[in-house]
Structure 1
Amino acid sequence: MASKHFVLVHGACHGAWCWYKLKPLLESAGHKVTAIDMAASGINPKKIEEVWTFDDYNAPLINFMKSIPTDQKVVLVGHSLGGQNLAFAADQFPEKIYVAIFLTALMPGFSHRPSYVIDQFIERTPTWLDTKLEPYGPPNENHISILFGPDFLTEKLYQLCSPEDRALALALMRPSSLFVVDLAKKNLSKEGYGIVPRVYIVCNEDKTITTDFQKWIIENMEGVKQVKVMDGIDHMPMLSGPSDLSIHLLDIAAEYG
């Protein structure tokens, strides 16, 4: 197929670094790849204490989308919390997106506020083990930061990843937020987000966003055009199954491009 431009969006506490195995696979197939650090993530200079709203957090992706010429399109890929980033980018720039791919992601819909799927996720997560949840920002605004602990990472996020990848994550993760309070004030439109084709990739060994909850998202967050399933893959498919993931992404890009 003709060369495509893949834009990769990480989840909470992570950064562009988490795509290091996938990026060269897509590039070796002849495609352009941009992995973006959200605010206070990866090597972005901001700290979470400076990022109070989801718009602040998502600004690097929105600014990147603004820079794309009007005659060009990209394939957006969002992992975990990155599903929210994709939704808002699609809402603002639907004409610049071939397809939005939600990779075991917290994908919002139209019938509820974008925070709804995160609220449901939190309600269905009985234990966060040693994850640090701490208040930050102005008093009385209820901002909560999150940083996955070593036990949660090993048992829930990276259980099928290599020891080297777990060590890398523990060295590079930074405090983030789920921005529930701010997302509860926002809406997504059918005229923007709603016209962008959406594909969901299920990872059936995910112990964080479980298979049952991924299926609930697909059934309740309307508008999914297609579902792909990755067998034997945990919450971090770009690390535990990069080759299989690249094949899925190339197939989807060929179909919707």
Structure 2
Amino acid sequence: MEAPADQTSSKHIVLVHGACVGGWAWFKVATRLRDAGHRVSTPDLAASGVDPRPLREVPTFFDYTKPLLDLLESLPPGEKVVLVGHSLGGVNIALACELFPEKVAAAVFLSAFMPDHRSSPAYVLEKGGTLDWMDTEFKPQDPEGKLPTAMQFGPLVTRAKFLQLCSPEDLMLGRSLMRVGSMFVEDLRLQPPYTEARYGSVRRVFIVLKDDNAIVEGFQRWMVQNYPVDEVKEIDGADHMALFSTPAEVAHCLADIAVKYAA
């Protein structure tokens, strides 16, 4: 099932990746949305994808998010985008909504961490930290602990928790292009809650991935209960990297949301 190709309803959709990958991870979804006539941006966050900086030069979550914030700041007056975050990308789009609510027609959380406006942004990351990390490596970047803890996914956790329904080719691609990243929990713990007046004013949609072994369905639904959204959609047969395993279904969901929420 492909995204509906209605050229007259073209929207600007910004796709924000999760930890340790980059904008490249959206290639299947972005292709389908562009073929349907939408404008699509897939920014690389700092120290991600082809961004040249090493993680040690990205000390805060704001620094990590800045490429997305710069994109929104550069939009012409009056233009609004549909902002989509996957996994950790949910916290990036929440920060973007806090700073630029007038530029976001809808915020879409694709099995993504979704902060509320009562707790620090780290709350949902720590609440959802029950994943069996298997062979993931966590390492301090500096003796003083001033930099965020580095994180690198191993082959076992990648196969079992993130891409268990993906093809061998997609698994190989994902493993080949992953970089060292961070959840930035130490920094996010220090940040005040995003506000109801700004972040909370943006319409939100949550897409539940029912076969996600990383951010499991029960926790996805807990986040929706914790911070109710305007609409919940579901995709069956989608693992955490639904961008690879069910790209047509993801594109169809996003196209429907864009047409419904973006003027």
Instruction: Give the TM interval when normalised to the shorter protein.
Output: over 0.9
1:56 to 63, 67, 83: 63
Do structure 1's residue 109 and structure 2's residue 116 form an aligned pair? Answer: yes
C-alpha distance in structure 1 between counterparts of 2:236 and 2:243, whole Å: 13
Residue in 2 aligned with 1:211?
A: 217
1:29 to 28, 32, 36: 36
Do structure 1's residue 201 and structure 2's residue 207 form an aligned pair? Answer: yes
Query: Which one has the bigger strand percentage?
Result: 1
Q: CA shift at 1:142, angstroms?
A: 6.4
Q: CA shift at 1:138, angstroms?
A: 5.8
Residue in 2 aligned with 1:188?
A: 194
Q: SS at the partner of 1:21?
A: helix
C-alpha distance in structure 2 between counterparts of 1:54 and 1:140, whole Å: 15
Do structure 1's residue 47 and structure 2's residue 89 form an aligned pair? Answer: no
C-alpha distance in structure 2 between counterparts of 1:14 and 1:252, whole Å: 24
> Which segments of 5 or more consecutive residues in structure 2 lack a partner in the other structure?
1-7
2:171 to 166, 169, 179: 166
C-alpha distance in structure 2 between counterparts of 1:45 and 1:140, whole Å: 23
Q: CA shift at 1:141, angstroms?
A: 2.8
Do structure 1's residue 118 and structure 2's residue 125 form an aligned pair? Answer: yes
Do structure 1's residue 139 and structure 2's residue 144 form an aligned pair? Answer: yes
C-alpha distance in structure 2 between counterparts of 1:213 and 1:44, whole Å: 31
Q: How many residues are paired up?
A: 254
Partner letter of residue 39 of structure 1? A
Q: CA shift at 1:60, angstroms?
A: 0.4
Do structure 1's residue 74 and structure 2's residue 84 form an aligned pair? Answer: no
What is the root-mean-square deviation of aligned Cα atoms in Å?
Answer: 1.1
Runs of 4+ in structure 1 deviating by more than 4 angstroms, as ranges, are: none
C-alpha distance in structure 2 between counterparts of 1:113 and 1:33, whole Å: 30
Q: CA shift at 1:252, angstroms?
A: 0.9
C-alpha distance in structure 1 between counterparts of 2:140 and 2:188, whole Å: 17
C-alpha distance in structure 2 between counterparts of 1:140 and 1:47, whole Å: 17
> Which segments of 5 or more consecutive residues in structure 1 lack a partner in the other structure?
none
Counterparts in 2 of 1:71 and 1:49: CA distance versus 1, 3 Å: same
Does the CA-based 8 Å contact 1:204-1:229 persist in structure 2?
A: yes
Q: SS at the partner of 1:171?
A: helix
Does the CA-based 8 Å contact 1:194-1:223 persist in structure 2?
A: no
Q: CA shift at 1:23, angstroms?
A: 0.8
C-alpha distance in structure 2 between counterparts of 1:226 and 1:64, whole Å: 26
Residue in 1 aligned with 2:5?
A: none
Q: SS at the partner of 1:36?
A: coil
Does the CA-based 8 Å contact 2:56-2:147 persist in structure 1?
A: no
C-alpha distance in structure 1 between counterparts of 2:142 and 2:185, whole Å: 14
Does the CA-based 8 Å contact 1:52-1:137 persist in structure 2?
A: no
Report Cα offsets for 1:21-56 as digits up to 9, x if no partner: 111100111110000100000000111111110011
Q: SS at the partner of 1:243?
A: helix
TM-score for both structures, normalised by structure 1: 0.96
Q: CA shift at 1:4, angstroms?
A: 0.3
2:21 to 14, 30, 49: 14
Q: CA shift at 1:154, angstroms?
A: 0.3
C-alpha distance in structure 1 between counterparts of 2:252 and 2:174, whole Å: 24
Q: SS at the partner of 2:34?
A: helix
C-alpha distance in structure 2 between counterparts of 1:19 and 1:250, whole Å: 14
Counterparts in 2 of 1:138 and 1:9: CA distance versus 1, 3 Å: farther
